Amino acid sequence: MKRILICGSNGLLGQRLAIMLSSRTEYEVLNTSHHRSFVFDHQLFDYTQLDLTRKSDVKSLVSSFQPDVIMNAAGATNVDWCENHREEAWNVNVLGVEHLLEAARKVKAKLIHVSTDYVFDGKTGDYAEHDKPNPINYYGKTKLAGENAIRISEINHAIARTIVVYGHGINVRKNFALWVIENLKNNQAIRCVDDQISNPTYVGDVAFGIIKIAELDRSGVYHIGGSERISRYDFALRIAKVFRLETSMIQRIKTWDLNQAALRPMNTTLITLKAETELGLKPVDITQGVTLLKRELQTTRKN
Ligand X SMILES: NC(=O)c1ccc[n+]([C@@H]2O[C@H](COP(=O)([O-])OP(=O)(O)OC[C@H]3O[C@@H](n4cnc5c(N)ncnc54)[C@H](OP(=O)(O)O)[C@@H]3O)[C@@H](O)[C@H]2O)c1
Give residues in contact with ligand X (CB under 6 A).
7-8, 10-14, 33-35, 50-53, 73-77, 92, 96, 114, 116-117, 143, 162-165, 172-173, 175
Give whichever of 12 and 250 is closer to ligand X, judged by the CB atom: 12
Task: Give φ, ψ of 127 to 5 degrees.
Answer: -85, 135
Q: Label the pairing between strands 250-253 and 190-193.
A: parallel
List 47, 127, 139, 222, catalytic entry: 139
Give whichever of 41 and 244 is closer to ligand X, judged by the CB atom: 41
CB atoms within 10 A of CB 103: 24
The amino acid that residue 79 corresponds to is V
Give whichever of 10 and 199 is closer to ligand X, judged by the CB atom: 10
Of 72, 67, 53, give the one whose Cα is nearest residue 107: 67
b (16+ CB within 10 A) / e for 153-191: bebbbbbbbbbbbbbbbeebeebbbbbbbebbeeeeebe
**139 catalytically annotated:** yes
Rounded least distance, CB 62 to ligand X, Å: 13
Rounded least distance, CB 8 to ligand X, Å: 4
Give whichever of 169 and 245 is closer to ligand X, judged by the CB atom: 169
Rounded least distance, CB 225 to ligand X, Å: 9
Residue 90: half-sphere exposure toward Cβ, Cα within 13 Å? 6
Rounded least distance, CB 270 to ligand X, Å: 10
Q: Would you please indicate which residues are annotated as catalytic (active-site) residues?
A: 139
